[in-house]
A and B are shown apart, each in its own frame.
Chain A
Amino acid sequence: MLWYKSWREIRVVALGGVAAMAVACVMIVWFEQAMRSNQEIPLSYVAYLWKSVYNSIGRDMFLFLCVILGGGGLLQEKAKGTAGFTLSLPVSRGQIVFWRAVMGFVGVVAIALTPAIVLPLVSPYLKEAYPLSQALGFSLLWMGCGTVFYAFTFLLAHVLEGEYTAILVTIPSMMLYGVLNSLPWFEHFPMLNIFHLVNGEDMPFFDEGAHLLSGPLPWLPMLMLLMIACALVFASSRRMRLRDF
């Protein structure tokens, strides 16, 4: 039943995030003509959606929600005064951390999948089309990349005391990571740029002209990101095992 507790902890952010993402996608689609007519260079519908959803508002909102989802756990419970009750349950700390991590990941997946459902469904109402396969491909990229930011915040939330400290530290850390990505050294390793990997920008699997995913998804980098995320969650669990409450 730890899954239920963890679900209740993330429910507001997860469902709120899905709703906010869905509304954002609907608005982007709904006002596409007005927005596209303001562009200096004419944009195709697909390019407009990529720029609006996958390269700006949608992506930023998604990454921010991943960070918020990661900011929970036993230290946050300690700040709220409920850690004593949780730790008195006949379960291991590893199980508590595991289920919190799993449910947070479920939240990340749900939010990542929202554009894949909304965009192909809403587009026909404006006599436009957005391929489901493209939307699903971007959702997979979001999941892979978002999971790392989620797990990074999750680890910080299990190291730093305070209800929102982990979130407040992660956001400037992400900005710093963005700055580091512009260093010449990083240009040799484009797959290390998660901000580009998340939407395909400057990536070999992305057609910059058509704004479509054109090749096989980067499964190996995605697998590595997933492994990094698992390692961060494992480190969180190890950290909790030794911690006094």
Chain B
Amino acid sequence: MLERVIQTDGLTKHYGEFHAVNALNCRVRAERITGFLGRNGAGKSSTIKMLLGMIRPTSGSGTVLGYRIDDPKQSIEIRRRIAYVGEDKGLYGYMTVGQLIWFTRSFYSDWQPDVEKRLLAEYRLPLGRKVKALSKGMRTKLALLLALSRKPALLILDEPTEGLDPVSIEELLQTLVMAPMQGTTVFFSSHQLSEVERVADDILMIDRGVAVLDMPLEQIRENYRRVSFGFDHPVPTLPQLDGMERVRIEGRQVSVLASRNAEAIAAMAHQVGAATVDVASISLREIFLETVQDQNKRDQEAHWEQTHALV
């Protein structure tokens, strides 16, 4: 069995001057759930599309299940072995639910009719209804049924919970948790960080097409800390220690996002005369915001300047 089901080396995609994915290096481990995070336009969908052979990399390379993503023949083998639910959940509106299931089933030898029946009942999908007559949530359920009724080696989901009601989200998360036990690796993107935090084993976070965090969630929980300290006097110059990812200074208060070495950072705070020092665990949401917020502000400023320059 492959240890790494997805592997990219310097994977790059440029659309003219826009760099959607920029020399992305990532590894997705087998039989685990990897949460793929990033802002809108961070390059998540472009990365997934490159993995599926829908778009061609500008440079770099990548493999999925050992098959090269830039080889059209090997790309077919990738798609035979994976199940995918796209961001837009675009399905053929002119087919009925039953016809679309019948059509999709014909392409895969790993189709599981019993799972199909169970999911049909669970999602209460009407077999005779045209897909175009389904609500957005029902279309999402149908797209999930088409992916989950198989026993793929890899399940790639792009925003799978979008449009689902809370009960369906819960059922889907339960299904995802069970998937690795049946030999399926799950790679899913989501903006719902609380959901990711609940089910993911590993986190891959990208920003502006570059991996900014690639780590098991357990390790993130163990290592990441917020170290806050306050001074009675103006904040002195702080030494840069290993693990200090972001430092925010507001008045006499300092907040440090530490990716490791939190104790040493706290000790440093005492040494430079901090009156109060607090080390607290941090949620994935806070890490995400800390990681992308500065860049987001820079992007907004650049966009503002660009827009006003045009005016």
Contact = CB atoms under 8 A, between A and B. Distances in A.
Contact of A91 (B88, B94, B107): B107
Please indicate which of the listed interface residues B52, B72, B90 has the most CB atoms of chain A within 10 Å of its own CB. B90
Contacts of A93: 72
Given A87-B54, A245-B55, A5 B103 contact: yes
A28 B54 CA distance: 50
Given A1-B103, A90-B108, A84 B80 contact: no
A85 B90 contact: yes
The 6 closest A-B pairs by CB, nearest first: A81-B90, A90-B80, A244-B55, A84-B86, A1-B106, A90-B79
A220 B116 CA distance: 53
A9 interface: yes
Nearest to A86: B92
Contact of B103 (A4, A83, A244): A4
Contacts of B56: 242, 244
A82 interface: yes
Contacts of B106: 1
Given A80-B90, A87-B52, A8 B95 contact: yes
B241 interface: no
Contacts of B279: none
Interface string A72-97: 00000000111111011111110000
A9 B103 CA distance: 13
Interface residues of B, number: 29
Contacts of B80: 90
B49 interface: yes
21 contacts: A8-B94, A80-B93, A82-B91, A83-B90, A84-B54, A84-B86, A84-B87, A84-B88, A84-B90, A85-B86, A85-B91, A87-B54, A88-B54, A88-B79, A89-B79, A89-B104, A90-B77, A90-B79, A241-B72, A242-B56, A244-B49
A17 B84 CA distance: 36
Nearest to B108: A90
Contacts of B272: none
Contact of A90 (B76, B91, B103): B76
A82 B79 contact: no
Please indicate which of the listed interface residues B56, B80, B94 has the most CB atoms of chain A within 10 Å of its own CB. B94
A5 B49 CA distance: 22
Nearest to A12: B94
Does more than half of chain B's interface fall in helix, strand or loop, or is it mixed?
loop
Interface in A215-245: 241-242, 244-245
Given A8-B99, A91-B76, 7 more contacts: A82-B91, A82-B93, A84-B87, A84-B88, A85-B143, A87-B52, A90-B76
A12 to B, nearest CB: 8
Nearest to B49: A245
Contacts of A241: 72
B86 A244 contact: no
A8 B92 contact: yes
Interface string A1-41: 10011001100000000000000000000000000000000
A244 B46 CA distance: 10
Nearest to B55: A244
Contact of A88 (B73, B84, B103): B84
A85 B79 CA distance: 11
Contacts of B90: 80-85
A147 B154 CA distance: 42
A242 B53 CA distance: 11
Contacts of B53: 87
A242 B95 CA distance: 29
A91 B78 CA distance: 10
Interface in B31-77: 49, 52-56, 72-73, 76-77
A90 B79 CA distance: 5
Nearest to A93: B72
Interface in B99-150: 99, 103-104, 106-108, 143
Contacts of B103: 1, 4-5
A26 B166 CA distance: 58
B49 A1 contact: no
Interface in B220-273: none
Contacts of A245: 49, 54-55
B292 to A, nearest CB: 25
